[in-house]
Chain A
Amino acid sequence: MKKIEIITRTFKLDDVKTALAGIGVKGMTVSEVKGFGRQGGHKEVYRGAEYQVDFVPKIKIDVVVEDDFAAEVVEAARKAARTGEVGDGKIFVSPVDEVVRIRTGETGEDAI
């Protein structure tokens, strides 16, 4: 099993969710996060004083899927989240040892 973390622009959440649901992803976890990469931050001005705000708000979507499904999910997410400008974000893929469904006690791929 793989965990896929998609960090991207906040306004792309709906597009990514729709795309992933469309190829059969059955669940996801979403968090509001802040960070910076090549995009850097932005400038804010209060009464003439300029401040550099380094951390840009982003959305993080966590999905766990079967190994052979991972590549398809990554590609669907990439297409949905892409604008072509700096700041589109990143996708991380990592192995998952175990999944447990709390209600039934099922484990492994059955629990996804």
Chain B
Amino acid sequence: MNPVDNAFILICAALVMFMTPGLALFYGGLVRSKNVLATIMQSFIMLGLMSVLWAVVGYSLSFGSDIGGLIGGLDFVFLKGVGMDAVNSPADNLPHLTFMIFQCMFAVITPALITGAFAERMKFAGFMVFSALWLILVYAPMCHWVWGGGWMGQMGALDFAGGAVVHMSSGAAALCCAILIGKRKGHGSTAFIPHNLPMTILGAAILWFGWFGFNAGSALAADGNAANAFVTTHMATAAAALSWIVAEWLHGGKPTTLGAASGAVAGLVAITPAAGFVTPMWAIALGLGAGVICYGGIMLKNKLGYDDALDVVGIHGVGGTYGALMTGVLATVNAEGLILGNGHQLWVQFVSVVATWAFCFAMTFVIFKVVDSTIGLKAGPEEEDKGMDIAEHSETGYQW
């Protein structure tokens, strides 16, 4: 066990924890004021629900002894054998508890990311059951496949901090949910104007800040790899914020603050799988592409006609996919991508992308259908009119 690494990863875990309330503000500002609390709640309460589920069973399914490359065993349920020393720890430089709690924060934020897709029209009770099932049936297997000794990791797929596990998985789930739950009332005729963009910008800034823990911490040590991941994360994000506003300036007319914030998040998403495998200069190139491609990604919903309210598909789905593929192209640090002549890596990345989308979409479909037909997921038209804050929580965000 290395005390310096331990200190660093504990701090990183706290940074990643802070991303979830950051996401709550990012999403909260984008909805109409009558839905601000319900939207914030759907992220915030994941800190409660996912943390408990993770300790009880999620961690074990993700990092327990491998069963056929598909899922972890039940060795660590109720944190049995997860202690203060490094015994059985997947990272032998860290106390097992440190590794577990760092991973816990990833499990918290991933289901919260999906909530942007069904914002402003989801019932709370159904949402909680949906999210719990999603952690166990989608997140835990994905996490095991990539980081827990499962088949994707064995195949050599590169995913430094969660391009597939966190972003593609939530993006695919978001697409499925947006299609199944249907459009918000008045979609196409009513203006869905964000009620508080300063709140959204603050949320994006908190995400950016917390993401240093997410990506640099994924080096699982306080070493040079962590430094590289820190710098690549920052550079890609900076570049994507710039390229998004340039794209909308050229395409839509004006550079917007929402565009700058969205571009930053797109850059953060895209660099996530690549953070430890690319150089800072290639990170800038990757980020420049991310801003433009995700700007295109959010246009998809208008073309295809689904109501992904807060653009989870366009930013996390498209950005995560782009990042995973570009990792196969630009990897030169501790891995070899296409630019070093290793075309096989790009193929492996491609296989992981297809498998992630297919598995997460299909499994989310099943979970959604089951919960919808038992508990019910979509709010009625009257509730939607009143707003989810009053209808689901009996409170309002603002008293003026």
Contact = CB atoms under 8 A, between A and B. Distances in A.
B191 A47 contact: no
A24 interface: no
B256 A46 contact: yes
Contacts of A51: 191-193
B204 to A, nearest CB: 13
Nearest to A53: B191
A48 B295 contact: yes
Interface in A28-67: 44-49, 51-53
Interface residues of A, number: 9
Contacts of B191: 44, 51-53
Q: Indicate the member of B191, B192, B299 with the most A CB atoms within 10 Å.
A: B191
Interface string B264-306: 0000000000000000000000000000000100110010000
B101 to A, nearest CB: 35
B53 to A, nearest CB: 33
A45 B254 CA distance: 9
A44 B193 contact: yes
Given A52-B191, A53-B191, A47 B254 contact: no
Contact of A49 (B251, B253, B254, B302): B302
Nearest to A44: B193
A52 B262 CA distance: 22
B252 to A, nearest CB: 6
B254 A48 contact: no
A69 to B, nearest CB: 37
B193 A47 contact: no
Nearest to B294: A47
Q: Is the interface of A mostly helix, strand, loop or mixed?
A: strand
Interface string B107-142: 000000000000000000000000000000000000
A53 B194 CA distance: 13
B302 A47 contact: no
B193 A48 contact: no
B66 interface: no
A49 B184 CA distance: 15
B258 interface: yes
A104 to B, nearest CB: 33
B150 interface: no
A47 B251 CA distance: 11
B259 interface: yes
A52 B295 CA distance: 21
B248 interface: yes
Contacts of A46: 193-194, 256, 258
Q: Indicate the member of A45, A47, A49, A52 with the most B CB atoms within 10 Å.
A: A47
A52 B302 CA distance: 16
Q: Indicate the member of A48, A49, A51, A53 with the most B CB atoms within 10 Å.
A: A48
A45 B252 contact: yes
Interface of B: 191-194, 248, 251-254, 256, 258-259, 262, 295, 298-299, 302, 311
Given A44-B193, A47-B262, A51-B192, 20 more contacts: A44-B191, A45-B248, A45-B252, A45-B256, A46-B193, A46-B256, A46-B258, A47-B258, A47-B259, A47-B298, A47-B311, A48-B251, A48-B252, A48-B295, A48-B299, A48-B302, A51-B191, A52-B191, A53-B191, A53-B193
30 contacts: A44-B191, A44-B193, A45-B248, A45-B252, A45-B253, A45-B254, A45-B256, A46-B193, A46-B194, A46-B256, A46-B258, A47-B258, A47-B259, A47-B262, A47-B298, A47-B311, A48-B248, A48-B251, A48-B252, A48-B295, A48-B298, A48-B299, A48-B302, A49-B192, A49-B302, A51-B191, A51-B192, A51-B193, A52-B191, A53-B191
